[in-house]
Structure 1
Amino acid sequence: MTTRTMARRLRPTRRAWGLLVVGLMSVLIAYLIGRQMLLLVGLFLIGLPLLALALRAVFRPKIELERTVFPRTIAVGDRLRVVEELQNRAFISLEPVSYFDLTPGARRSAVGGVLPSIAGRWHPNANKRRRRIAFSLDSLLRGVHDVGPLYLDNVDALGLTRRVIEIGEPVTVQVWPRLHPLDELELPAIRSGGDVETGIALAGDSDDVLTREYRHGDPMRRIHWRATARSGELRVRQEEHHAEVSSIVILDTAPTPEAPARVEDATLFDIMDAAGDDSQAPIDHALEQAVSIAASLVAHLHARGYETELLHTHEWETEREGSASFRTAAEDPIEPVMHHFMSVQPADAASGAEPLLDEIQSRAARIGKAPVFVVHRAMDAEHTAQLSRLGAQATPGVLILVAEGPISLPLQPFLDEGWEVLLVHARARNPWASMTRYPGERTAAKRRASATTVRTASHTARGDLR
């Protein structure tokens, strides 16, 4: 695709200003001492940069760009490839130029280099009229980023004028959080069939479950016999499927204790003159690791057939303002929630927002018995301890602590409720390689005992139905 070309302001270089100053001084001295030759030299030195500016203003470069970016949607750590074809449509050649392509969200804010001269449109060799730029990026951060536009730093052959040419429109790239395999967590398999009644009974909702009238084609196992006896007509569970396959992932979006310093935007010439600076804006490693783990949990549970309920502990500015949850049905695609993960940020510390614990507990109570995963990174101990109460309905309950060092969070409330508690390092490329279990055997034993209880109750429920 050919894009528009926009020329930046043409300006003289330091060399041109130096020639102008020397020329003016030569003319002044020539009048003072009466030397005509010195006068001619002064006029030449003044006229040369002015002539260069005039010619460059008339003969503007006309460069067309065809950019290919693949793929447009990647995960953190994946490789992005960029290929750009440039063609000179002007009648005159373009001098050798340095270039830089803006790459916000990557380790470098720009990728640069030097292009040989690009011949004009009358040149018989088509290869001389074209140039190619190709590079790859594997350091893009989570979020939505632009690749481009491309800038050419164009200086004339005498070094008297300089112009920055902007070519092409930026291409948007979506970067999902990194997804990790979860074999180490021993996640539960999806429940099915007779386990439905087990999920409802264990949730304590067997008498209060919502029902509707029986419709032709409804399976007999969905009939709620107590509601049928009370109403005198067949009634079936309305939210049975929801209770059967639900799972809860709670992501800690509390304000970051020490927010990364804001980096001021650099000008075009600052970026161009940076000489390969590899610096980047500070990264909240705990947040990125927590989002990555939460996204991995949601993707894994969704692949196993679970309906996933993603809950945030704090409100933050999003398109879905006012909602602390993001639900993905088992039959829905996973892409919308991954787009949601791309924009997750911690709450603003200045806003003084309180955690949405009441809303979380209300949502969890409506779901009933389900796997519950809490990914903690910055929430204080008092509010975190309140989440341990979800352990009564968590089958299993897993608390994942993301930190860069030792933690001071009291874990006993979670251990008493039968949670499995894991600690992972915030900077680990593979979080499970750095995983520590607390206290390990006891928690795993309680989880296995809980799973045995569920299976036993399932068989009992199926026997009662028969």
Structure 2
Amino acid sequence: MPRPTLRGVIFALAGTAIIALAYVVERPELLAVGVVAAAAPIVALVVVASGRPRVRVHRHLDPVVATVGEPVSVTVTVAGRARAAEWVERVPMRPGFAGPGRLPDVRRTRPARLTYRYWPAERGLVSVGPLLIEERDPFALAVRVTDTAAEATQLVVPEVLPLAAGPVPEPSTEAGPRSSRSRERADDDVVTREYRDGDALRRVHWRVTARHGELMVRQDEPQAGPHSRLIVDTDLAGYADIERRGLRPGPPSGPSFEWAVRMAASSAAHLVERGYAVDLRTSTPQAPQPPLADAPGISAALAPVLGELALLRSVAADGTPPPLEAHPSVPLIAIASAPQPSTIDWMLAQRAPGTVAVLLLVAPHGAADAPEVLALADEFTRAGWQVARVDPNVPVDAAWRRLIDGQPAPAEATAILRGATP
């Protein structure tokens, strides 16, 4: 609905006052001025209401799968019919919009294109749009905001930093680890089809979807290599600095939990690069059908893990985590903050004797040397784990380096992973 601007309201009030003054001082010439001033906003409302935009909006996002904090280029194509106007688009970053900018005249034979960049502030499935078109009369006395309603959904994954070699050794199997070339070839050998009701969201192939302009799903699964296990404590009670009162948009989260997610993403990429297939395990149930982070630069083996981590949430535990079988040849990387006793037992039980297992404990700011954190680190160390205590302000690659500079992996664990007999 059209509405008067502040300038239009001032015109209407001033016109009414001038009309009243004209009668008080008996000056007919002021009456004409007052009528014009009071009528101008009404005429502006009629002008703005006479040309409602009728447009179709299409967006192209580059990259298709975004990373927190890295720029995304958005090209918006507006087709149909609309007069020159201002535009504003809602985007998932602070302050929450892109623009305003100038939208030229749009005709059926002459669509308009808008280009801007935004920086995703949070991971997850986010909406880009809708595009808001703000039409004003030539004197800016009235405005009408048209919501085009069209949105694009984008997957935003956590930041991934390269980690130095160690402490997890190179895998070795009869077939040998997959090479980078074989993983790249697996990304290309994907058969896709149109999305159907009931298809799992994790099977959406984002790169092909962007090319076709409609949801496409993959029909095959990436090949797996030697297995590794990535453990993340997602119990809400295990993070003291979680924001519980809804002061931020989205599910509860906090510095320690977001650090744990970034560490998990970097660890997963490190394991995949070394030839492992990553089995992500959490202490609380998560989304049953997470999406695939399928995009250029992300290997087929890493795509499902990044998709799960993009939607990872800290939720209250409902009982003890389900037991998992320990495997001697499967290395473990665990990330936690202040795990509960049941979670500690669950994590410890996943390490088989002689297996490489590392733990990164992210304590709330300034609490890395607290007695309870030291006691927890000592408990895992005595159980054969390599442990590093870090602050959430420490970059994940620096925390990994701190882990490498600690005690080396047990010799028998390295022998088992290399296929030798301990």
Give TM-score, length-normalised by structure 2.
Answer: 0.71
Cα 1:63–1:77 change in 2 (3 A) is same
Query: Which structure 2 residues correspond to residues 218-237 of structure 1 after superposition, within 5 A?
Result: none
Residue in 2 that maps onto 1:257: 240
Query: Which structure 2 residues correspond to residues 77-92 of structure 1 after superposition, within 5 A?
Result: 77-86=69-78, 89-90=81-82
Which residue of 169, 174, 183 corresponds with 2:164?
A: 183
Residue in 1 that maps onto 2:212: none
Residue in 2 that maps onto 1:433: 398
Q: 1 CA distance for matches of 2:330 and 2:413? A: 12
Cα 1:388–1:439 change in 2 (3 A) is farther
Q: 2 CA distance for matches of 1:283 and 1:450? A: 35
Secondary structure, aligned partner of 2:265 = helix
Residue pair 1:140, 1:175 contacting (<8 A) in 2 also: no
Kindly provide the CA deviation profile for residues 290-334 of structure 1, in whole angstroms up to 9, marking residues without a partner as x.
122223333443454544332111235x2369xxxxxxxxx9854
Q: 2 CA distance for matches of 1:245 and 1:152? A: 53
Are 2:123 and 1:160 equivalent residues in the alignment?
A: no
Cα 1:21–1:341 change in 2 (3 A) is same
Q: 2 CA distance for matches of 1:332 and 1:33? A: 83
Identity of counterpart residues, as a percentage?
24
Residue in 1 that maps onto 2:332: 372
Query: Which structure 2 residues correspond to residues 53-452 of structure 1 after superposition, within 5 A?
Result: 53-62=45-54, 65-86=57-78, 89-90=81-82, 93-94=83-84, 97=86, 99-104=87-92, 106-115=93-102, 118-119=104-105, 132-167=113-148, 169-193=150-174, 245-255=226-236, 256-260=239-243, 261-263=245-247, 284-316=254-286, 318-319=287-288, 333-348=301-316, 353-356=318-321, 359=322, 362-365=323-326, 367-380=327-340, 383-384=343-344, 387-393=347-353, 395-403=355-363, 404-407=365-368, 408=370, 409=373, 410=375, 411-428=377-394, 430-435=395-400, 437=402, 443-444=407-408, 447-452=410-415
Are 2:19 and 1:21 equivalent residues in the alignment?
A: no
Secondary structure, aligned partner of 2:384 = coil
The amino acid of 2:288's aligned partner reads: E
Higher Cα radius of gyration: 1
Corresponding pairs, count: 357
Higher helix share: 1
What displacement does 1:251 show?
A: 0.5
Q: 1 CA distance for matches of 2:329 and 2:139? A: 77
What displacement does 1:252 show?
A: 0.9
Q: 2 CA distance for matches of 1:173 and 1:57? A: 34
Residue pair 1:254, 1:355 contacting (<8 A) in 2 also: no
What displacement does 1:375 show?
A: 0.9
Cα 1:406–1:438 change in 2 (3 A) is farther
Residue pair 2:366, 2:391 contacting (<8 A) in 1 also: yes
Kindly provide the CA deviation profile for residues 170-197 of structure 1, in whole angstroms up to 9, marking residues without a partner as x.
11111122233333433222232499xx
Secondary structure, aligned partner of 1:185 = coil
Kindly provide the CA deviation profile for residues 182-220 of structure 1, in whole angstroms up to 9, marking residues without a partner as x.
33433222232499xxxxxxxxxxxxxxxxxxxxxxxxx
Cα 1:385–1:15 change in 2 (3 A) is same
Q: 2 CA distance for matches of 1:394 and 1:109? A: 51
Residue pair 1:153, 1:165 contacting (<8 A) in 2 also: yes
The amino acid of 1:379's aligned partner reads: P
The amino acid of 2:331's aligned partner reads: P
Q: 2 CA distance for matches of 1:39 and 1:103? A: 48
What displacement does 1:161 show?
A: 0.3
What displacement does 1:434 show?
A: 4.1
Cα 1:376–1:291 change in 2 (3 A) is same
Q: 2 CA distance for matches of 1:259 and 1:420? A: 26
Q: 1 CA distance for matches of 2:367 and 2:231? A: 22
Residue in 1 that maps onto 2:196: none
Kindly provide the CA deviation profile for residues 402-459 of structure 1, in whole angstroms up to 9, marking residues without a partner as x.
234342321222211221112344234x412244647955x31x5234324676x835
Q: 1 CA distance for matches of 2:67 and 2:248? A: 27
Give TM-score, length-normalised by structure 1.
Answer: 0.65
Instruction: List runs of 5+ in structure 1 lacking aligned partners.
Output: 1-8, 196-243, 266-279, 322-330, 461-466
